[in-house]
Every structure is written in C-alpha cells, then in structure tokens.
Amino acid sequence: MSPTTHRQPLLEIEDLTVQFATADGPARAVDGLSLSIKPGEALALVGESGCGKTATALAIMDLLPAHATVSGTLRWDGAALDPRRQRGQGLAMIFQEPATALNPVLSVQTQVAEPLKVHRRLGRLAARQEVLRLLDLAGLPQPETLLGAFPHQLSGGQRQRVMIAMALACQPRLLLADEPTTALDASVRAGILDTLARLQRELGLAILLVSHDLGVVQRIADRVAVIYAGRIVELAPCQRLLEAPVHPYTRALLACLPDPFSDTPPAEPIPGQPPRATARPTGCAFHPRCPMAEPACLRLEPALEPMARAPHRLVACPLVHGEPA
C-alpha cells in the first residue's frame, strides 16, 4: 500500500448521480457521491450488492447503458475528464467476470495484442514480445505456452490475469478493478490481490478497487469508502477503519466477517434488506436496519462530515460525531 500524500488528485468526483429508467420508475444507483484518488493510491469502494459500487466505476469509464442518466463533475488531473480519450492510457478496467469479458473465439495473444496494435502502433513481432511481457507482469508463468489458448482452456485465475495484462497494455495511470477475485478460491484470490499490490508498487498505479468484502480490501487499500444506497457513509484510512469502525453500517459489515482463528460463531447477518433504488427511505437510508436509529434518523439526511477528533475521517451519522475515532 502506498503512503497517503498531499499531491493533486488524479481523479476527482463531485456529486456523481447515476439513475436508471425502469418499469417501476427511476432507480437511483448512485446518489450524490464525491471522492478523489491520488496518484499511486489504492482506494476501495465497499458495500453490499446493489449499493452503487460498480455503477460508479462504469460511470467513470463512460460504459453505462443507454437508459442510464449521469450527472455530476469528473476531473482528471484538474481538467474535465473525457473517458473515451483517457480509456487505456489513462483509465483501464478489470471487469468482474473475465469468462464473459474475454472474447471466447479469440486467442489470448490476439486479445492482448489488439490494443498494442491499435493504440501503441506496434508491429506483429513487437506486439508479440509485448504480450509476453505483459502476461509475465500479470503473474502468468511460461506465458509463451498460453499465446494460442482460448478463454475456455484457462482456469479462472488465469483468465483474470489475462484481463490484468490487457488492462496494462496501454500503460494506464488508474486501474479500476471491479470485484477482481469473485468466484476464485482463497489461494488464487490472495495471489490476484498480491499481484495488484505489486503492480501498484512497481508501476506507480492508482487503483480503485470495488468489493463487497472488507477482508479483501485490507490487503491492498490505502483508504476505504463504505457505500450504502448509493452514498458514502464512511471514508477513512483502511487500517483505522478496520480497527475502529464508526458508522453503524461499517460496524455491521465487519461483524459479518468470520474469524478463522476463533471458535466463536460469526455474528448474525445484518437484519433486513438494502433499500430498493426506486424506493429509498426518507432520512438516513440505513435507519430501518440500524440498531442505533432514533426518530430524527427517519427525517434528516445525514451529511458526510469530518470527525471532530479525526478530520481525516468522514462519517455520515450525527449520532456518532464527537466519539473518539
């Protein structure tokens, strides 16, 4: 993990809103989200399925479907972000399921070489050598044996590493990783996360990691933004957040994690269900599931504000402001 610095943010997001047109009415997946990522920093977006994590990443890449409406401000190096111009060289994305993201009828060499030929103008032989280098960089041993392979001939971990190689092809500065370890067993998952951490360190990459698992993000993230119902409810340095969670939702997420070194059964799952994007409750969206909820929580929408004793830490819950952080 990289140290936090005061350098100008690489990516700034202000008041991002993503809304989808549905048969049940407008569905707001992201609701006024603001954050920034510094060069070389790893920031994790964490929350339950449907909270707006992937929609945020796809909005940054301008890859949302046509029925989505996006508003807000995105800046890249201080200027307005043009995702189509920055894709590849500035921004790159590792998608959640490589089995569907990779083309099933094209070989590994063909898929990894395409951006090298189109964007970097490499010839056939130079592109082949660069494909071998990228596959090796992504952690695939004996990459020459995989050049002619097709996705169905690879394991889940190998497919994910091919996706990483493709994402690195145009030498991006920010890598968006959407649940990069989904459906992988524990040892393969750890290897993928270690590879991302190594690439961040060796290449100076900034990483935006999307995950539902706080146990995963602790291996790579410098900071964590916890999202609920499309809004950030807590933003803090990773280790501090894991050691001393403040927002009731963050506490509940951590309480769900099993302890492999304890015989004590894990805590009960968070009661209830996340709100539907078409029917967000009034006030704090977490209040129907929150053990700390008071009548005011049903009326007032909490702002994301610095903790009094820890201004580097932002929390959207007036009930916890003023507590030690």
pLDDT value, residue 61: 95
Degrees to nearest 5, angle at CA 217 with 216 and 222: 155
DSSP assignment string, 238-307:
HHHHHHS--SHHHHHHHHTS--TT--SPPPPPPSS-PPPTTSPPSS-TTGGG-TT--GGGGT-----EEE
Task: Name the DSSP letter for residue 87.
Answer: B
- Confirm if 227 and 214 have CB atoms less than 8 A apart: no
Average pLDDT per 10 consecutive residues for the chain, totaling 325 residues:
65 97 93 96 94 95 94 96 88 89 95 94 96 97 96 94 95 94 83 93 95 86 96 96 94 81 68 90 93 90 89 88 46
Considering the entire predicted model, what is its pTM? Answer: 0.90
13 vs 35: CA distance, rounded Å: 5
Distances (CA, A) of 17 to 71, 97, 231: 5, 25, 10
* Torsion angle in degrees (nearest 10) through CA of 225, 71, 49, 102: -100
pLDDT value, residue 184: 81
DSSP assignment string, 96-113:
S-HHHHS-TTS-HHHHHH
The yes/no answer on whether domain 11-82+204-315 falls in CATH 2.40.50.140 is: no
Around Cβ 218, how many Cβ atoms within 10 Å?
16
CA 22 to chain centre: 25
pLDDT value, residue 321: 64
Closest to 44 in 3D by CA, of 196, 228, 207: 207
pLDDT value, residue 259: 65
3-class SS shares of the chain: helix, strand, coil, % to 5: 30, 25, 45
- Confirm if 67 and 18 have CB atoms less than 8 A apart: no
